[in-house]
Structure 1
Amino acid sequence: MSTGPAENPTVDVHAHILLPALQQLVAGADPEGFGAQQALEVRRNGPQSMAASGKMIKERWPQLTDLDRRLADMDAQGVDVQLVSPSPSHFYYFAGEELALQVARAANHAVREFVDSAPERLNGLGLVPLQHPALLVEALEHAVLECGLLGVEIGSFAGTPEDPERSTVELSDPRLEPFWSRAEELGALVFLHPFGCSLDERLDRFYLANTVSQPAENAVALSHLIFSGVLDRHPDLLVLAAHGGGYLPTTLGRSDHAWRVRPEAHGCAQPPSSYLKKLYFDSLVHSPAELRALVAAAGPEQVLLGSDYPFDMGSENPVAEVAEARLPAWDEARVLASNAAALGITPAAIPATPRTA
């Protein structure tokens, strides 16, 4: 059983909290936009998955909101520290500028308050309004400099408030350059976590809206970062991809071939597969063989423990699942602890490199 921070604490970098007050804020301020998003989720997921997800959230409400339950679960898992982030359902990328900034600031404060309830076991990530590139730096600085969080969580794309279903803001969008620059300067972690998928009704049964869409969205979003040269222009940018980076890390042969033969795919300086060494991935791939493949493709120094706590598509025993991959002992230690330490992911009570303006 874990007893708190150790000399080399085991760190779970992918764990969520639910912020009911944030949902109430958005539903009250923009009921039309909120209702449209709810309808979109029904269309994307289908009635069977929506019913199952509603039951799951109700059952796991204590884990999403109660600190004591969370700490007990961490102890049972052998996790010393969680890096908590808001549930991606709180992105609210349909919100207009004023509400979007209000949402980001409220989320940042709420995460900070939750972290402060157990700073020896927790640290946190905030939110930024990806749908409004001009507001990203302000929201990032609020999260990191004012609230003392380690970075922010973003989705794989964002629409505009006028057309939230259309992916008008990709991670390759030139308007995001100031955000990438500032995140790099601050040493802020950018946690890429998809929510929703532009394939919509094609995935509305069999829970394909999660099992297929999230790995696909990760692959698309990371490809935008790679092929557009974002990682060339910002070599010290810290991007952590949820769910092991989805379909991308172990299927880059085709991307490398396109980079060699297609001029429009030659926007990055090196073959796409080489950028795996510039990205970080959580361990949540649900298969020992796939985790070994991820570590082999990206390198053991690029993979960190992740559980997606406490959702049903996460892992209730993330440390044990890493052990099942039978990695070399030093590589396993990196995934569980030392990679997080190298990135400055510490409990809030033990701050790493100070964030400066």
Structure 2
Amino acid sequence: MSDLTITDVHAHILLPGLHAEVERRAPDGVRDAAALELKRNGGESLAVSGPMVGARVPKLTDVGVRLAAMDAQGIDRQWVSASPNHFYPWAPEGLAVWIASEANRLVADHVAQAPDRLTGLGLVPLQHPSRMLESLDDAVLGRGLAGVEISSFAGDVELSDERLEPFWARAAELGAVVFLHPFGCSLDERLDRFYLSNTVGQPAENAVALSHVIFSGVLDRHSGLKILAAHGGGYLPFAIGRSDRAWRVRPEAQRCEHEPSSYLRRLWFDTVVHDPAGLRHLVEVAGGSRVLLGSDFPFDMGLDDPVTEIRSAGLPEEITRRILGVNAEALLETLVKA
């Protein structure tokens, strides 16, 4: 497969300088966010996560360390997105726009150190829909990034919110990737033990967010939209029959033109499902051209050896090649260049 560029579309960067400045500008907001994290995750999980992330800071910040880790995994290219703790969904408008701009600059600077191996994704202030377009343009046209990363919701903004229509339209026009990666689950303290905040919370948030996109007709109105869902789309691809049933029998669920399952083939998904049978099912319901290698690098809930996991999943060779890199290249073909 020497002609194949093996690409990991789900890899993170940590921006400690950005966080320090946010803490300086809005100490109360950072403190309240930390309290919410404690409520949602529980003290036991936070006590484990702190050292886990700390040990991975070099991989998250140093390009040389990142490239060495990629070499060890057999990865030719990474799509680098901010660690979701940099979403700051509580930030007021002015600060939120500055955060997105600074994150876009820092991600662009990081990937510029190895442009033949790294592709960047920026941020937009989801909680302030009226300011998202300028941040999207800043990321793609201003900084040369391939798209932006968003959470599953922010404050009162769900992905079905009508205020997001200009953002979806602009993302489609630019051919920009919109990487859906939740941060925090609205189930809050119900998931504060056993690490349920991640094991249940992340796939639940993915399923809710994608359902908002599908049922509200976003993909009908913006057929060129390129939404890439982390964690294999969460629970939704594995329970999509229930969505189809609701669409058939409930009038309030018929805001989209077609059965919800058909929209899985208009979305893209990474391979962070931790189960070869799950990966095969994802390919079955979404199609071999809609699944891309993702590892959640370098966190402990990611895939340590993502290439081997895909190659050993029992998929046809052509689909394996697509997942390893062909699909990632195709997804960027229509991207408007800066």
Alignment of 1:101-250 (within 5 A): 101-159=97-155, 168-250=156-238
Matched residue, 1:31: 27
In 2, the alpha carbon distance for the partners of 1:253 and 1:227 equals 14
Aligned to 2:158, what secondary structure does the other structure show?
coil
Q: 1:126 Cα shift?
A: 0.2
Kindly report structure 1 stretches of 4+ aligned residues shifted beyond 6 Å: none
In 2, the alpha carbon distance for the partners of 1:16 and 1:289 equals 26
Aligned to 1:15, what secondary structure does the other structure show?
strand
Q: 1:7 Cα shift?
A: 3.9
Matched residue, 2:82: 86
Q: How many residues align?
A: 338
Instruction: Note the alpha carbon deviations across 1:288-341, whole angstroms, 9 max, x for none.
Output: 111011111101100000000000000110101111211000000000011011
Q: Of 311, 331, 341, which aligns to 2:329?
A: 341
| Superposed CA RMSD | 1.2
Aligned to 1:83, what secondary structure does the other structure show?
strand
In 2, the alpha carbon distance for the partners of 1:128 and 1:323 equals 35
Matched residue, 1:355: 337
Matched residue, 1:348: none
Q: Counterpart of 1:126 in structure 2: which amino acid?
A: G
Instruction: Determine whether 1:68 maps to 2:64.
Output: yes
Unpaired segments ≥5 residues, structure 1? 160-167, 346-351
In 1, the alpha carbon distance for the partners of 2:304 and 2:85 equals 21
Q: What's the TM-score once normalised by structure 1's chain length?
A: 0.93
Q: Alpha carbons of 1:229 and 1:353: their partners in 2 closer, same or farther (altered >3 Å)?
A: closer
Instruction: Note the alpha carbon deviations across 1:176-226, whole angstroms, 9 max, x for none.
Output: 000000000000000000000110000000000000000000000000000
Q: 1:353 Cα shift?
A: 4.7
Percent identity among equivalent residues?
Answer: 62
Q: Alpha carbons of 1:75 and 1:260: their partners in 2 closer, same or farther (altered >3 Å)?
A: same
In 2, the alpha carbon distance for the partners of 1:179 and 1:158 equals 15
Q: 1:62 Cα shift?
A: 1.2
Instruction: Note the alpha carbon deviations across 1:104-123, whole angstroms, 9 max, x for none.
Output: 00000000000011111101
Unpaired segments ≥5 residues, structure 2? none
Matched residue, 1:165: none
In 2, the alpha carbon distance for the partners of 1:194 and 1:206 equals 19
Alignment of 1:262-301 (within 5 A): 262-301=250-289
Matched residue, 2:53: 57
